[in-house]
Structures are given as structure tokens and as C-alpha cells.
Structure 1
Amino acid sequence: MAPLLVIPDGTVSYDVHGPADGPTVVLVPGLGDLRSSWRDLVGPLVDAGHRVVTTDVRGHGDGTHGFTRHGVEPTADDVRELLDTLDVDAEHPAVLVGASFAAGAVARVAAQDPDRVRGVVLVAYAGNGEPAGRSVRLQIRLLLARPWGPRAWTGFYRSLLRGRKAAWTDAHLADLRRALRDPAALADVRALALALVGGGHRTLLGQVTRPVLVVTGTLDPEHPDPTAAHAATMAAVPHDAVTGVLVPEAGHYPQHQRPDVVVPALLDFLAGLTTRGDVTRGGVA
């Protein structure tokens, strides 16, 4: 049974892998996904000596359902609570890795609590600052409704997997569909989706003072031009300690579509934080 993070509105499930005294890396998935989506990164990170924490977002996975707040800001609050539980402090800061909207959430944590963050990794970054049209909101309400919602969501997830796919993709989609058969779980995914397309979220990426790695799939259908979106994300970082990896043959989930590219890039980024000593209290050296 996964441990549960207790927050004011309920509980959030997470797992801890690797040595208790290793440098902490926290991995946060995106909308409608599960912490198991990071499975191909966990082993290599543990082998490199890291304490690896994979967490669900509120309303997903094995935690409670029925949350009233969803989006970038509540997810950032939950990540901060998790850092408290993990005893992450200025002496033992963590690297935060987020996917899609959760990339914005971990950027927000780094901007607001830099002393506890060594670096930030943005995978398929989504800012969710601008609202979508009314028709998009209506489509979400219709698609993520019972009884077809679980199948509709996994169909949409599959559409974002342009390029290569992991050998375990079908099993993962089955897990997602099974989880969403719980009406309360489906309601939380729908509420989060509606909150995100409503816009107005503030990732505070322009205030991040820690080193940043940006990872983008070249086939990501969430962007009309993924390469341009990748460049824009990198340009939004307000300092020069930012590196980027465009991942070929990958869509919105490069972490499990191309772990052969993402894992070495992440390990290089982590090693650079250790050897260059980029992180100082309050900023980038």
C-alpha cells in the first residue's frame, strides 16, 4: 500500500524508492495520469544514488477523491507539503520534475521556495495561463462523463502518444481506464481538466532562480509547433542556467515514449548540479 500524504482537503498517494540519504528527486505526473508513468526513470535514478519519490496529483491514484480545488496552484501546495513530509530543507534540497500542467506546478514551487530546490525539470511544459474557448469546456464536460468517460480519456491519452510507445503502454492505459471507473475519480479528472482550460494559472516560471531542464517531444500534439513551444519555454526562464532537450519520435509523454533519450539527459542534468555547484542559497551561482 502506497504511503499517503495528508493535506487539508484529503490525501495524496506517493512512493519512495532508493536510499533514504540520497539526493531527492520528486516526479509529478500530469492530468489524468498516474505516478507509475515514471517507471522507466525510477530504476536509473535509484542506481545513480538518488532517493526517488513518485507522487500522484490530488484526486488521482490511491488517495482520496472529491477535492474542491484543482490546478497549478493547489498542486504546487501539495508538492510543498510533500517536501515537508520528506524533510527536504535548505541543507537537503530536492530536484523537482513535473509533466504537462505539473511542470508549471513544480516551477511555481521553485519560484516560491527556492532554498529547498536544487533544480527543476519541465517535461511537456504547459502554462495554462490562457483560457480555452467555451466549446472546449463543453467537450470536456461531455467526454469525461459516465459511462463513457474512462474510455474517452484513455483514447485521448493515446492520441497524445505520437511516435514511439513503451512496451507497457496498453497495460498503463488499462490501469487508467480501471481507475476512472470510480465515479469520484472521474469527477476529479474532469474538474482538473476544466480548471486547467479555464486558464488564469500562474506557474511563476519567470521567477525561477534554479537551473532548469526543458524536455519536449518533437511530435507533441498539444502544440501547433512543438519546437517553437520548446524555445518559448526556455526563453521564459529568467537566467542562463537552462538547457533543453527536443526528444524525437515522442509526443506529450517523452518520459515513457523515449526514456533512452530522457534518462541520460536527466542524469547529466543532475550530475551537473552536483559538480558545478550551480545552486546557492537564494539563487543561481
Structure 2
Amino acid sequence: MDINPTASLRYLGRPEGRIAYTDAGTGPLVVAVPGMGDLRSTYDDLVPALVAAGHRVVVADLRGHGDSDTTFRTHGDVATGTDLVALVEHLDAGPAVLVGSSMGGSAAVWAAAQRPELVRGLVLLAPHLRETASPAQARTYRLLYRALFVRPWGAAAWASLYTSMFAKGRKSSRHAEHVAQIRRSMSDPAHLRSFRDLAVALDHSVIEPLVPSVEAPSLVVVGELDPDYKDAGAELGRMRDALGGDQLLVPGVGHYPQHQAPEVVTPAVVEFLAGLPAARHDDERDGADERGARA
């Protein structure tokens, strides 16, 4: 299932399977990853604008999602972070700006903290930089996910939740098509199993202690109706202060601002990327080191 046939579909081999990604444009590298239960097409409004602005844009599916293999046994923020690192290294065109939605943003923060030399910027769309559920709540959620995301109702249940709970507020013109793609993907038993395994495994507590070590400039974008936050504006301010970056609160949308309000989010991302310092590649750094040694 090639979600975006306009860009070339490629694969990155990992120890437990392959990660699918598309590669479009030329210029400074941008690597994007969706959130749990989502597909590469969540970025279909953003990618053309970034390519037109002179960027090479690579969009990867999560493990067990979309065109990625369903053979993975390990899922979560850290696993996705290692995939981002491996992908940037494989492309050999970094450092990259990492774009992450929801848990994809958490994974991008993990990558920036662990491998700062590979990351020159972060665009975090409704990210989770801490675990807000209590241990008791987390156990309840896991029981719910195990019961809800199974055949024969799992795909329909997630498609309904995606729209009714997480995509609160205004919908994009392609919302119905996007959710239909998600439902078709989840109708495959292997994809549904991978999605359920990820939902059960998610624990953002590993991210919070890493946030202070992130040096990359950041833009955090949150929808004001996002149900994942008790107070979206307050949580956005907390994340901005923790990262020392820029923020954007998008009115009238929920958990997917890049998909629900691309006319607001896309220009902000393009402007943020334009303001980043130019990337210094290894050959440039080596030349600077040699000049310094001769001085």
C-alpha cells in the first residue's frame, strides 16, 4: 500500500524488519514520522510546501504501520527514536530537522538528546514530553487497548476514535480519505496487531529526563482542543519552556494540527526552517578543524 505515490517508496532495513519511507525534493534534510495509528499521509499537506521551499523531505511509516513491515516485536518512543537515528545515518545527508507527530515527536526528542550531531532542528506536533497517566491509569488504558483494538471491530474503533476524539474541531478537506486509508490499513490483522502492541507498550516517562539535554532549536505546535492535554495552552507553555524553543497554539483543532489546519501550520514550519542556521556537514567541520590546527 503506497500511501503517497508521488514520492519514491524506499525501505530501511532494521534488525526486526523494514521501515518504509518516501523521499522527495533536494536540499537540507527533513525527516518526518507520524504518531501512533497514523500514516505518512498525515503530512501530505506539509511535504509539497517544504519541497517547494528547497528541502529534501523524507517521511517514514512507524513500525508495523502503513508500508513498514509488521514483523517488529519492539515498539514505542525509544524504538522509533532509534529508527529515526538509523534513517538519518542511512541517508548520509544530515544533520536533519526531525518532524514528529504525537509519539513521533517524543521519538524525535529522544533522537535529538541521544545523537545531537544528527539533529539541527525539531518540529514537534502535539508531542508527549512526559507521562501524564498515573500507574493505575496506565494499567487501565492497556487493558482497554487489548480489548478494543482486536478483530473484528478494532479497525472501525480506531477510525471512529481518530475522528470523534482526537481530530476534534475542524476537519481538512481530505479527512474522510485519510481516515479511510487508516481503516483499510488496520483491517489487515498484522497491522492491527502491531498497532495494538504499540498502544500497549507506550510509556513516555523515558522522555522527560532527556528534555533538558536537547540543544536543537524547536517549534512545538499544539491544537487548542487536543484531548491528550488537560489544558493544551498550559502544556504547550511548559514544553516551550522546557525546550527553550518556539510555540504555536492552533485554535479550533485537536491532536493533528498539521492535518486539520495545514493553512496555519505549514507556513509556520516553513518559516521556522528558514530561520535555522545552515547545516555544517562533516567535510566542512573537518576543513575548519584543519585550518584551526594550522593557525
TM-score, scaled to structure 2: 0.87
Name 1:258's counterpart in structure 2: 261
Gaps of 5+ in 1: none
Give, in whole Å, the separation in 2 of the partners of 1:18 and 1:208.
Answer: 28
2:246 counterpart residue number: 243
Where does structure 2 lack aligned partners over 5 or more consecutive residues? 3-8, 286-295
Question: Which one of 88, 107, 114 corresponds to residue 112 of structure 1?
Answer: 114
Alignment partners' CA distance in 2, 1:128 and 1:155: 26
Alpha-carbon RMSD: 1.9
Which residue is equivalent to 1:213? Answer: 219
| Whole-angstrom CA distance in 1 between matches of 2:139 and 2:107 | 24
The superposition leaves residues 4-39 of structure 1 with CA deviations (integer Å, 9 ceiling, x where unpaired) of 1110110011001112xx001111100010011100
1:178 corresponds in structure 2 to: 184
**Contact 1:28 1:97 (C-alpha < 8 Å) held by counterparts:** yes
Within the candidate set 127, 139, 143, 2:144 is matched to: 139
SS of corresponding position for 2:275 = helix
CA distance in 2, matches of 1:41, 1:234: 22
CA distance in 2, matches of 1:255, 1:74: 23
> 2:195 maps to what in 1?
189
**1:12 partnered with 2:22:** no
The residue type paired with residue 77 of structure 1 is T
Residues 205-231 of structure 1: per-residue CA shift (max 9 Å, x gap) = 221001011100011011111111111
How far does the alpha carbon of each residue in 1:219-272 deviate from its partner, in whole angstroms, 9 at most, with x for none?
Answer: 1011111111111111221xx4x1100011110000011111111111111111
Amino acid across the alignment from 1:51: R
Letter in 2 for 1:175: Q
Aligned length: 270
The 8 Å contact of residues 104 and 205 in structure 1, kept in 2 or not, is answered as no
- Percent identity, please: 46
The within-5 A match list for 1:53-92 is: 53-89=58-94
Structure 2: how far apart are the matches of 1:141 and 1:275?
46
Equivalent of residue 268 in structure 1, options 253, 263, 271: 271
The residue type paired with residue 143 of structure 1 is: L
Matched residue SS, 1:186: helix
Task: State the one-letter code of the partner of 1:244.
Answer: Q
1:137-183 residue CA offsets vs partner (Å, 9 max, x unmatched): 11111110111000001111112111111111111111111111111
Residue type of the alignment partner of 2:147:
L
Q: Distance in 1 between matches of 2:13 and 2:71?
A: 14
User: Normalised by the size of structure 1, how large is the TM-score?
Assistant: 0.90
What is the one-letter code of the residue matched to 1:262?
A: V
Q: Confirm or deny: 8 A CA contact 1:95 1:120 kept in the other structure.
A: yes
Bigger mean CA deviation after superposition, 119-128 or 95-104: 119-128
SS in 2 for 1:3: strand
Q: Is the 8 A contact 2:28 2:279 kept in 1?
A: no
Which one has the largest radius of gyration?
2
